[in-house]
Structures are given as C-alpha cells and as structure tokens.
Chain A
C-alpha cells in the first residue's frame, strides 16, 4: 500500500538546518497495524504527517496505493486525504462549534454523500463507538476518552484505506487510553490499515510491527508477537 524510498525532510530557519528525516525507507502492506516509536524530536510525527499528505518532503519517493505522491498540488492531496485517509490526533482536533453528530458528519459532507446516507452512516458508527447517546452534545461537554472516540468515529466514517493516529492516547488516562487502543485493534482485526505514532511501549504492543526512529532514521524494525492478549 505504501512504498517509501530515501525520504528526507529538512526544516530550515534563518540560521539552522535540521534534518527531520534522513533517507527513510519504509513499506506498509494492506491490513498492517504499525507503530512508530522513538524519542521526542526523532521525526516520527513528521513521517506520519508526510504519509498523511499534511506535509511535504524534500527528497526520495513516496507511493501511496501505487501512485506517486511526489509534487502533488494541494488540491490533489486534499482529494486523496478526504477519500483514503482518516486521522486521529492526540488533542482530538474536534471543532468546538459543531456537535458530535456534525463533527462525524463533516467528512461525509466533503465527500458529497447524500443526506439520508450520511444520517445512516453516522448513526451506525455512533452505535459502533458506543457514543450514540452523546450525538447532540458538543466536544466541550465530553470526557477526553469520549472525545477521542468521536475523533476515531470521524476518521472511520468514510471507510478510509488508511488510518493515521498521532499519539491517540497521549491526552487520556490509562482506562480511556485502553479503550481507544482496543478500538483500534478491533478495526485492525476487521482489516483496517493503521499507522500509529506513540511514546508508549504498552500501546505499541497492540500493533503487529514496530518501527523505531532516531534522529530521522529508522534504527529498528521488528514484528510484534502480541504480548498482550486481547480479551
């Protein structure tokens, strides 16, 4: 699904040049659940943003679903994002002025799904995420765990080919964090492709492949033998 070869990204300020990514090679197959780990500033979020087409890169190639992502215009990137990629963020990034229902509905509107179908899909996913009773509430009225579930619901509602999660449990306590991780594992078992950035080795253990980054380079890549049993 994803082939990345020699990918590099450089941040420049007036005096300083920082290599955030340095010749990264990285493949993802359909149905994989991959964790990216590493210390602060190692480039893991940058890698995820590039994969999610939120950020550009300076060197190397990146193919997504067998198409080159080099030199795409913002309009093309935006089209791919809305159809193929779902995002889950550490700080949820819900729109405060929209209700739970409306937040989840948003990607469907952008994908020009008809109103009745939107209603069905949102209700369906609300049920699945166990937040149907919160549909009319606003993000500020929910707990962190609930907010993150809404964010996951929003990421899933268009049935994207790829889910990107940037420290999805970072702002949650362990109980709520666990719930979110179980949700992602469920999705993975149903066949979703997930790439997750995390600090937590515990969270990483839910995935089936762990990539370790340091100073913008991949230093280790290992298959995970499911240390944690899912009940």
Chain B
C-alpha cells in the first residue's frame, strides 16, 4: 500500500512538478522565517533563566513622578534596608563605566567596566574559564575579565595572576575569566569586573547612581513592597540629611522600588511596555508567514484535487476506505513537509549569523534546542491542519459521479479557496502598507531638521577629563590650527549621548523647587558651532568660566514652557548648591531622539572637557582625522588609543531599533507577497485550466479575446479588491498606533494606501493575465468534445 502511495506521489511529482515545487517553496520560506523568528524569540525569553536564584533576585527601580524610570538607587540604602526588612536577604551594588582602557604589554583595549561589591558572582554565577569565583574580588587590585577580552589580550593562554594596566593608572591582577556564551543576561557585554574603591555605606542618600540588586525570600511581592520601601527611603534620607520629611518629599517626588531580573530584558517597567516590541512584531510576522504558506498548501491541494478525482474514485470503487484515502494524502503532505523542514534547517543555519547581526544577538540552533520540540510541534500542528483539510475534501468525492465523467466543481471548494486567497492578500497588503509607513517615518527622521548641525562633527572621547582641564586652552588652540578643522569645542553630552547629570538633582528657580531638569555642560562655543539657535538673551562670552559663586547659565524653551516662567532673563536658578543667573534661552533641539523630544534643560559652562567636538571640512576627512589622532596620542593623552565617532552616527544609535524594524518589516512583507503571489499563480492557473471548456465554448460562439480575458481576470480582481478593502482599515489602525510612539512624527501618509494596493493589484493582474493568455490558445476541438 505504502509503496503504491509513494509511487503515485513521485509520478505525479514528475508529471507536473510545478505545483508541488511552488508548494514546497512557500513552505520552506514560511518555515525558515518562523524558525529564525522563534530562535530569536526563545533567545530573548532565555535571559537570566539560567540563573538558579533568578526568581528571588531583584534590581532597584526608581520611578519619578513624571514617569522617568531608572534602575538605580542611592548606595547607602541597601545597607540599612537589608537590616530593616526581613524580606531582603542580601544585596549587591554595581556601577557601570564605558570605555575604560585595559592594557597588557602591547595590547590595549577599551572595555565596559562594572564596579561591583565582592558578592557579584553569588548574584550572577557566570561560569569561570580560568580561576574561581571565590574571593576573586576581595582585594582592591583584583580584576575579573570576560572570556572575550581575555582572548583579545592573551589568546588561549591562562592569564590568572597576570598584571594589567588599567586606565594607565592602576596595575591590577587578573583573578578570573568568566564566560557569558550561552548565559544570556543583561550584564553580557561587560568586559571588566572590578571591586569598588569607595565607601559606599556612607555615600549620599540623594545620589541615584548605583544599580542595586537584592536577594529576597520566596514569593516576594515587589509591587506591594514599593510603598513601604519608598516611605522607608524618605524617612532615612530626611534623617541623614537633617531635613523635615515634608521638605525632603518636596524634591524627591519619586517611588523607590524594585523589579525581578527575569523581567529586565523584555518586560521591564522602565521600557514602558515596549521592551518586547521587536519580539512581538517578529513573532506576529513570522506566524503570519507560516499561515500564508499553509494557505497556499490548502489552496493548491484543493485546486489539484480535481486532477486526482479519478484516482480517488477508482480507489474507492475498489474498496479503499475513507481513512486510508485521508492517510494517503496526509502522507503526501508529510513528505513535502519533511523535505521543507530539512531544507529550512539548512537555510536557517546559513542565514543565522546575518540574522543575528541584524538583531544584535548571537544565535545558534543548538543553544535553544530546549525549545525545539515546541517549534516542531507548532509546525507539525499547522501542517496537519493544512494537510487534513484537502485530504478530507478529496476523500469525499462521490465515486459514481466522478467515474461517469460528470464530476462538476464543488462550489464550496471554490468559496473556501477564494476566502483563503482574500486572507492571504489582506495580510500581505497590511504589511506592505505598514512597511511603506515605517519607511516614511524613518526617512522623515533622517532628513528632519534636528535643531543642530550634525554634518562632519567629530566627537573625541576624553579618557581623563580632570587631567585635561588644565591643558584645555592649549588643546583647543592647537586642534583648531590643524588643516581641515573648522572649530573645536567641548560638551559632556553630544546629542544622542546618555548622561546621568540632572534628573535627580535639586533645582530651585527663584527659591521655588523645580524638579527633573537636565544639566548640560558645554563650552562657550557650543551653540555657535552646533548651530543651535538662541531665542532670547545672549550666548556665553568667550571669557566666561565655571564659577562656584555666581554662574551664568542658559536654559531651554522646555523649562520656560513646563514651569510657565515669565521673563526669566536675569533671574536666579539654583542647582548643585550653586546660584546661577539665567542669561539666555536656547531653542529646543532633539538631543534624546524622536521618542523623547523636548525636556527641560540647563546649559552651564563645564570645567572639564569630557568630550571634545570638532567641526571638520568635508574634504580629506580621513587625512584630517589622522592628523588629529597623531596630535592626540603624542600631545594630549599619550598611552590611550584614539577614540572618535561622528555625531550623525552617534545620533543614529538612538533609532537603531527602528532601523531594525524597518529592515524586518520590509523584508518580511516582501517574502509574504512573494509567497502569496506564488500561491495565486498556482491557483489562477488551476482555476483557469478548469475553465478551458467554457473558454472553448465561448470562443466557438465568437467571443473576442479581450472579452475572454476580462472574463477570466474579473474573478481575481474581485478577490484582490475585497482583500484590499479589509486590509486598508487594519493597516491604518496598526500604523497609526505605531506612529503614536513618536513625538515628532509624520502625518499619516495617504500615498501608501494607494501605492501598496496598486502594486498588489498590478501583480495580480499580471499573473492572471499570463495564465489567461494560455487559455486563449486552447485547442477548441479537444475541449468541446471531452471534459
């Protein structure tokens, strides 16, 4: 029996390979997309799961009244909290630092450093490749490095006990090399772990600079703990700073809480529900692609059913039961699926590195083997559904009718097919329109006037701003002399760069507290060189310096608007316990990207050049940069490799996520449309073949070619237009929702709602026309005589 089934399957395949191939292609595309997406999704969900104590490990979370959220807390808080609350059993403090230099002999690299309390590895037990976690951070000059950094510095050698130079200042002893490959965590990317060298216990209660991790008892409820914890913080803080509780609460309008580390990666409160958006979009898109290819499957099988009707009838008349017939067709489906699945696995293996790059993740098939059964089950379930449908349809043929030759097409079959195609096309149209809108918004963001000049602006990282403060004038003068450098200035915060300054600092305007203002430290040339407009008042004079008695500051439009300030010029604003005179108002510019456009900020002269910026001439850029590099390494910071970046690239990081989304949505909607069109191609050719007899009759009576083609194309046009009709409102709702997340956004464009349907309509007509032309050349005599 099985042999006969297989024989028939392969003979049919040989006779008309086109449809099974189209089917196969669609399935492969569907399964490949689905597998890739699920590999990514299961990787995303695996963050911190390997940590045996993850359920009871929490991270500090501070929520300000206007909705800002950071995973930081003041450092003395956990010391007393662990003693006061039996729910908290242990804590660990961490502070992050980017781009710190580590050197061994002639190898030097910048790395991300974590300053951590000694018990870091009891909270995050990453395995050790060399050394052990025990006492690895107990001495001041101990250091633990990542496997990646170890490979860069020492190759495969065991570096335990070796001395490295840190920031050209300290000599540290390597105590361990930890591994992160296969241990997804929010801390992956850390190169260096080093013990604190400050007195944390007696630190400031108002300085929210330390990420704090807590271990808790089982079934700890972080949400209900928040109120208790906030009150505790307020009382303690007020007592330490010797203020009344009311006063203290006035400027610390915030909630002190924590969230579980398992939520950190995708479902952190700080991400405001958007942490999992890529996961969500990707899962949705790939699932829809899988459905579209399953629809192709069903449609093609039902279309092909008429061709198999005679075989079914003969088998039935010879006594084959319905179950056996269903089994036979399900087996054919399984063969196709197994082939498709194996090919997909191969393609996934090939595409995985690029796909991982696009999403900035290291993915591998083996790492997520745990979830593979789930994937397989999903795919198998869908395939069974897709295979069973046509199998039942086929096995229900009435053998007497079929054998007598007056088997007529079933109406229900054709309605089912049409509905399926409508669903396919509606889904494709929705995502094509969405892709257009995502592209339009990102183009708009790329081309929008940001409020500052971003072209040819070089940013140079300063490794030790304190040291450079003295050399500042010399440095600026000498750099400005270099050929190709138009101007030199500094700031702590070029647009696109995060800074911790501000947000939790106490501010007073005319003695009244105003909370939540950012502090930008700039130099006198900042606004002119960046081409940022000053709306009122004046810029800094070139002679003005940072002054601890009476500083001059500029404020931005947002402060004025947010606090309803009238005539602010000449008024006093106080922060960091320094009184400052407001000398001007600066136009808002997009410093934090498009999702957080305007925020209140104060601009003060900084005394340390944290980042030197230079406006360069567009000619001979490379040459100019190497001159700067030579000068920098020789004169300014010897021993530190030169680190630079362009402002536009720095700013572009802010919408990396959206660029990713653009690529994903565009690529996946193109795949969707290709699969849908392939399906349409096959269904159209089947449907039109079934109508050959009708075409022959019409031709005999004298139908014109145009009339005939119209007749054949009409049905598909109706399908296509119905699909578009359903797609338009859904696409509108989806993209409108997406656009809401941008404070600076395009008006909903109308063009995609015409262009995308026209593309789909055009391609549909093209494909159906190709098939219809074939119908015009049918052999009249053959189709008039026989069915």
Binding site for B on A (CB under 8 A): 45, 49, 52, 54-55, 75, 78-79, 81-83, 87, 89, 91, 93-97, 106-107, 110-111, 140, 154
Residues of chain B with a CB closer than 8 A to A54's CB = 700, 780-781, 784
What are 9 of the A-B contact pairs (CB < 8 Å)? A52-B700, A82-B701, A82-B703, A93-B696, A95-B694, A110-B702, A110-B704, A110-B707, A154-B701
A94 to B406, alpha carbons, bound, how many Å? 13
Q: CA A140 – CA B700 in complex, angstroms?
A: 21
Tell me the minimal C-beta distance from A224 to chain B in angstroms. 27
Q: Given A95-B694, A110-B707, A140-B408, do A87 and B780 touch, yes or no (CB 8 Å)?
A: no
Closest Cβ of chain B: how far from A150's Cβ, in Å? Answer: 12
Question: Do A87 and B702 have beta carbons less than 8 Å apart?
Answer: no
Q: Verify B707–A89 contact, CB threshold 8 A.
A: no
Given contacts A75-B705, A110-B704, contact A49 B698 (CB under 8 A): no
Contacts of A82 in B (CB 8 A): 701-703
A91-B787, A95-B694 known; 5 new pairs, CB 8 Å cut-off, are A78-B702, A82-B702, A82-B703, A93-B693, A107-B701
CB under 8 Å from chain A, chain B span 683-714: 693-694, 696-705, 707
Closest 10 CB pairs of A and B: A82-B702, A110-B702, A107-B701, A54-B780, A93-B697, A81-B702, A95-B694, A110-B703, A49-B781, A55-B781
A95 touches B698 (CB 8 A): yes
Does B705 contact A87, Cβ atoms closer than 8 Å? no
Contact B781 A81 (CB under 8 A): no
Cα A49 to Cα B783 in complex, Å, equals 13
Q: How far is the CB of A188 from chain B (nearest CB, A)?
A: 22
A82–B785 Cα distance when bound, in Å, is 19
Number of interface residues of B (CB under 8 A): 19
Min CB–CB distance A4 → chain B (angstroms): 18
Cα A119 to Cα B433 in complex, Å, equals: 46
CB distance from B202 to the nearest CB of A (A): 90
Q: How far apart are the CA atoms of A82 and B700 in the complex, in Å? A: 7
Complexed CA–CA distance, A78 and B693 (Å): 16
Contacts of A91 in B (CB 8 A): 784-785, 787
Bound complex: CA A96 to CA B414 (Å): 15
Chain A residues with CB below 8 A from B787, complex form: 91
When C-beta atoms are compared, the residue in chain A nearest to B705 turns out to be A75
| Distance A97 CA – B115 CA, assembled complex (angstroms) | 80
A180: min CB distance to chain B, Å:
18
A154 to B700, CA, bound (A): 12
- CB pair A89 B701 closer than 8 Å: no
Cβ–Cβ < 8 Å partners of A75 in chain B: 705
Is the CB–CB distance between A107 and B702 below 8 Å?
yes
A81 near B700 with CB under 8 A, answer yes
A93 to B700, CA, bound (A): 10
Task: Give chain B residues whose Cβ lies under 8 Å from the Cβ of A81.
Answer: 700-702
Across the two chains, which residue of chain B brings its CB closest to A164?
A: B700
Interface of B is mostly: helix
Report the minimal beta-carbon distance from A111 to chain B, rounded to whole angstroms: 7
Q: Is the CB–CB distance between A96 and B408 below 8 Å? A: yes
Q: Which of A45, A95, A140, A154 has the most CB of B within 10 A?
A: A95
Which residues from B are CB-within-8-Å of A89? 784
| A93, B697: Cα distance in complex, Å | 7
**How far, in Å, is B778 (CB) from chain A's closest CB?**
11
Nearest A residue (CB) for B409 = A96
Instruction: Across the interface, name the chain A residue whose C-beta is closest to B787.
Output: A91
* A94: nearest chain-B partner, CB-CB: B697
Q: Distance in Å from the Cβ of A181 to the closest Cβ of chain B?
A: 21
A78 with B704: CB separation less than 8 A: yes
Smallest Cβ distance from B272 to chain A, in angstroms?
Answer: 57
A88 to chain B, nearest CB (A): 11
B751-787: CB near A (< 8 Å → 1, else 0) gives 0000000000000000000000000000011001101
A95 touches B697 (CB 8 A): yes
What's the Cα separation between A110 and B705 when bound, in Å?
Answer: 11
Instruction: Please state if A79 and B780 are interface contacts (CB–CB under 8 Å).
Output: no
Give every chain A residue within 8 A of B702 (Cβ-Cβ).
78-79, 81-83, 107, 110-111
CA distance A74 to B701 in the complex (A): 13
Chain B residues within an 8 Å CB radius of A110: 698, 701-704, 707
CB distance from A61 to the nearest CB of B (A): 21
Smallest CB separation, A134 vs chain B (Å): 19
Minimal Cβ-Cβ distance residue in A for B694 = A95
Q: Which residue of the partner chain, among B696, B698, B780, contacts A55 with CB atoms under 8 Å?
A: B780
CA distance A154 to B697 in the complex (A): 11
- Nearest residue in A to B693 (C-beta to C-beta)? A93
| B705: A residues at CB distance < 8 A | 75
Which of A45, A106, A140 sits near B698, CB closer than 8 Å?
Answer: A106
Complexed CA–CA distance, A71 and B757 (Å)? 44
A36: min CB distance to chain B, Å: 16
Residue in chain A with minimal CB distance to B776: A74
A201–B784 alpha-carbon span in the complex (Å): 24
B396 to chain A, nearest CB (A): 19
CA distance A194 to B625 in the complex (A): 96
Which residues of B sit under 8 angstroms from A96, Cβ to Cβ? Answer: 408, 694
Give A89 to B696 CA distance when docked, in angstroms: 12
A140→B406 CA distance, assembly (Å): 10
Bound Cα distance from A181 to B787, whole angstroms: 25
Give complex CA distance A106, B702 in Å.
9
Contact status of A78 and B408, CB under 8 A, knowing A49-B781, A54-B780, A89-B784: no
Most-contacted residue by chain A among B693, B701, B704, B780 (CB, 10 A)? B701
Of listed B696, B700, B703, residue having the most chain A CB within 10 A: B700
Q: Which residues of A contact B704 (CB under 8 A)?
A: 78, 110
In whole angstroms, how far apart are the Cα atoms of A156 and B215 in the complex? 95
Across-interface contacts of B700 in A (CB, < 8 A) = 52, 54, 81, 87, 93
Q: Name the CB-closest residue of B to A106.
A: B701
Q: Which of B693, B694, B784 has the most CB of A within 10 A?
A: B784
Cα A68 to Cα B784 in complex, Å, equals 25
The minimal Cβ–Cβ distance linking B776 to chain A, given in whole angstroms, is 9
Considering the complex, give the chain A residue whose CB is closest to the CB of B777.
A74
Closest chain B CB from A89 CB (angstroms):
6
Complex: A89 Cα to B703 Cα, angstroms:
18
Considering only CB atoms, which chain A residue lies closest to B783 in the complex?
A93
CB distance from A214 to the nearest CB of B (A): 21
Closest CB in chain A relative to B332 CB, distance in Å: 30
Q: How far is the CA of A91 from the CA of B696 in the complex (A)?
A: 13
Q: Cβ of A140: which chain B residues have Cβ within 8 Å of it?
A: 408
In the bound complex, residues from chain A placing their C-beta under 8 Å from that of B699 are 78
What is the CB-to-nearest-CB distance from A100 to chain B, in angstroms, rounded to a whole number? 15
Assembled-state Cα–Cα distance A118/B699 (Å): 19
A116 to chain B, nearest CB (A): 21
Contact A87 B701 (CB under 8 A): yes
Query: Bound state CA distance, A91 and B781, in angstroms?
Result: 13
| In the bound complex, CA of A111 to CA of B702 (Å) | 8
Q: Output the nearest chain A residue to B699 by Cβ-Cβ distance.
A: A78
Chain A residues with CB under 8 A of B781: 45, 49, 54-55
